[in-house]
């Protein structure tokens, strides 16, 4: 395989923005990630542009924002907190990464489909849909590392990782298909009461897509079951995996840097109204809007541990990058985000340090860094549509964890990244957790 890896911000800007038209996902990408169908991750040209237009309109709509805020709050209160309370009471060692994966799996599924798979509970039971999503992600990485002829042969023979992907896909298609059929039936049967509830609490994306009567007219997209299946799966992967990865690395960085943990706690304490005192408390989205240091710390964590550690592009025509390197349609161009976040040439001599202050301006506001430098949310026309969704969820979770609990990593537990399309901890994040308040 002919591969060019780059960490040069000028190349990133060229590939993602100024010459975006020549650097598409390409047919190879779609073959590797065929389980995603024709969803927005695989799409190019007009198909991608039309999907992005309607996705942006729905994700930025005030009704979805209301639903996001309510869903995040409810799942923290009724899902995450009971698990943490149980683990604290029992003094158990548990995998906090697994808990975060379950939290984001449930919230993303609710936000996208309106249905809660219920994977986050005190029992931490195995959920077939969750396992299938994990298996699919694992095999998609393996495909990136093997020549196509090898994994195509495994696929044809029905052996090895390809058999695992086939089984996972059956579960994914079955569950998503059921969500779509049930949702269509609900919407056909709904009355004025349900409509009023939706207006008050907001709506999930699947409801919005099905209800979007003029969507097909405006975009040319056919909103049939296959389109909805591909859209749901793409949103599920985008929202669930990236946010849980971000949460895991952030909490690990904070608990291993007590001085930064203290600053975040002081900022959260300043948000609490006078009279509420030092006690167990959850924070609403509006309260966290001005938590500048928390936001800066999240950006800093994403710089060092980007949930998607590399990007893959294929030039449509022969080209020369700003660095002088020649590329052609038979090559893959890898942009290596994980390395970029650690380069002194990009971030200065303290690039390897966890330093939230680098994100705070002299005026006390969050600094803006160009996306081709801080690449965690992509850049150019493909900039992540769910950036604000991710920050809303991460702030709700991290504020609840840091204010109410003290997490301590198990001694001797090794923490380092796995090799995957999503940057997880290879052996999980094994911790004990204690309550900070008795009331």
Residue numbering of the annotated binding site for heme: 384
Q: Quick check: 321 and 11 in contact, CB under 8 A? A: yes
Locus of tokens 């095999």: 139
Strand 23-24 relative to strand 310-315, pairing: antiparallel
Any idea of the CA torsion for 407, 410, 412, 416, to the nearest 10 degrees?
-50
User: Which residues are annotated as part of the binding site?
Assistant: 384
Any idea of the CA torsion for 154, 157, 161, 165, to the nearest 10 degrees?
110
In 3D space, the residue among 210, 297, 188 whose CA is nearest the CA of residue 250 turns out to be 297
d(CA 309, CA 339) in angstroms, rounded, equals 8
In 3D space, the residue among 264, 315, 271 whose CA is nearest the CA of residue 290 turns out to be 271
Residues with Cβ within 8 Å of residue 59, at least 6 apart in sequence? 205, 385, 386, 389
């Amino acid at each position: 395989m002919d591969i060019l890896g780059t960490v040069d911000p000028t190349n990133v800007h060229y590939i993602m923005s100024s010459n975006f038209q020549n650097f598409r996902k390409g047919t190879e990408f779609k073959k590797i990630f065929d389980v995603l169908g024709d969803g927005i991750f695989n799409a190019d040209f007009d198909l991608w542009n039309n999907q992005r237009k309607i996705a942006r309109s729905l994700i930025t709509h005030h009704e979805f924002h209301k639903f996001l805020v309510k869903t995040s709050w409810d799942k923290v209160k009724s899902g995450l907190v009971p698990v943490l309370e149980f683990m604290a009471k029992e003094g158990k060692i548990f995998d906090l990464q697994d808990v975060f994966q379950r939290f984001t799996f449930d919230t993303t599924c609710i936000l996208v489909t309106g249905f809660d798979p219920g994977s986050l509970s005190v029992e931490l039971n195995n959920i077939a849909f969750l396992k299938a999503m994990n298996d699919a992600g694992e095999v998609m990485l393996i495909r990136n590392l093997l020549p196509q002829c090898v994994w195509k042969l495994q696929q044809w023979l029905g052996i090895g990782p390809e058999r695992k992907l086939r089984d996972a896909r059956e579960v994914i298609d079955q569950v998503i298909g059921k969500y779509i059929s049930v949702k269509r039936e609900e919407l056909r049967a709904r009355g004025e009461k349900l409509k009023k509830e939706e207006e008050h609490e907001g709506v999930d994306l699947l409801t919005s897509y099905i209800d979007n009567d003029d969507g097909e007219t405006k975009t040319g997209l056919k909103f049939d079951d296959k389109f909805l299946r591909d859209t749901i799966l793409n949103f599920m992967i985008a929202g669930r995996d990236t946010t849980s990865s971000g949460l895991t690395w952030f909490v690990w960085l904070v608990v291993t840097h007590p001085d930064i943990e203290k600053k975040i706690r002081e900022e959260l304490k300043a948000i609490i109204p006078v009279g509420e005192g030092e006690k167990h408390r959850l924070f609403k989205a509006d309260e966290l809007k001005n938590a500048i240091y928390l936001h800066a710390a999240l950006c800093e964590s994403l710089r060092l541990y980007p949930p998607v550690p590399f990007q893959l592009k294929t030039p449509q025509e022969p080209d020369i990058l700003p660095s002088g390197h020649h590329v052609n349609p038979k090559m893959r161009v890898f942009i290596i985000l994980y390395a970029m976040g650690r380069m002194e040439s990009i971030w200065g001599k303290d690039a390897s340090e966890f330093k939230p202050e680098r994100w705070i301006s002299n005026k006390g506001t969050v600094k803006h860094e160009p996306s081709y430098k801080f690449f965690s949310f992509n850049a150019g026309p493909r900039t992540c549509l769910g950036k604000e969704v991710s920050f809303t969820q991460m702030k709700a979770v991290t504020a609840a964890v840091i204010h109410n609990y003290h997490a301590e990593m198990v001694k001797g537990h090794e923490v380092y990244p796995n090799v995957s399309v999503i940057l997880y901890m290879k052996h999980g994040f094994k911790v004990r957790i204690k309550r900070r308040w008795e009331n």
